[in-house]
Amino acid sequence: MLSDGVRKVLAGGVEHWVRVAGAVNDDVPLVLLHGGPGESSYGVERSVGDALAKVAPVVFYDQRGCGRTASADPSTYTMEQLVADLEDLRTTLGAERIVPWGVSFGCLLAAEYAVAHSNHVDKLILHAPPIADPLHPGIWTMRPGAVDPLLTPTERTALRAQLDELTAPLERTVAALGAIAQSENAAQFFYHDAANIPADDENAPEPNMEVAMALVGNERADLVDDLAGLDLPTLVLAGLWDRQVGFDIPRDLAARLPRATLEIFQHSAHSIDEEEPTAYVAAIQKFLAR
């Protein structure tokens, strides 16, 4: 039986920060798999976590090396280890089945876990999944093109000159993200409405760039094929104005999966939970009730 509260859970030999909320609902728990890679569950926990805990048990945890969880040997920052950590966490919490709830990068972890441990997955929730078909050029190749329209003319000229000397997709992505981060139009890339940008929170954990660089660009090309082979109810949440992952990747993923429901949020970019929290929670509640 799950019980509410914050605790440390040993998974994969690393002490993970874990918080359980809504255990009174006594149902299959949602397990939040945060994005980044290298970020934490902090932001999503505060935007919609408590609202979702009113309708289902929710497990929040920070992945190894992230947020409030202990750091680890950098050689263990792999997708295979993150999947193993999640399985250890599930076992320790005593949950026979879970609903992996992936956000951005966390969708990759959710999908890989579902493929490896489908017998322990009840349903799947994928918020802005960067899970592309093998023929798609990929989000890292597309990222400079997503940034380019939002820059000022001077910024655009500078970025294009910089990209002329870069060929590796990851290097080009880093350059593009650096350009948009310094741009006067930065808010348009991350949020559909700048008014939805949350205030700075001094308690928010800093991202772990060591984790990020270990995992970025190592996505498995045939993951979508393996996921499509599962008979698994899946909710795909997509922001129409998402420039980080794009809209086409979540849309096309939903088309591939045999039991997928696609929910489109027309007033959101990447952070749907912050721009349309009420609709976000309602979509998940409706999906869980099926």
**pLDDT attached to residue 140:** 87
Query: Torsion angle, CA of 196/104/106/27, rounded to 10 degrees?
Result: 60
Provide the whole-model pTM: 0.96
Instruction: Give the Cα separation of 94 and 18 in Å (integer).
Output: 14
**Phi and psi torsions of 123, nearest 5°:** -150, 175
CB 142 within 8 A of CB 249: no
- What phi and psi values does residue 228 have, to the nearest 5 degrees? -65, -20
DSSP string of 24-58, one letter each residue: GG-SPPEEEE--TTT--SHHHIIIIIHHHTTTS-E
> What residue ranges of the chain have pLDDT lower than 70?
1
Residue 109 has a pLDDT of 98
Query: How far is residue 145's CA from residue 149's CA, in Å, rounded to a whole number?
Result: 7
The pairs formed by 169-172 with CB atoms below 8 angstroms and a separation of 24 or more are 169/138, 169/140, 169/141, 169/217, 170/140, 170/216, 170/217, 172/140, 172/141, 172/143, 172/144
Six token digits for residue 3: 């019980």
Q: Which two tokens stand for residue 194?
A: 């700048």
Q: What is the fold of 5-132+193-288?
A: Rossmann fold (3.40.50)
- CATH 3.40.50.1820 maps onto the chain at 5-132+193-288
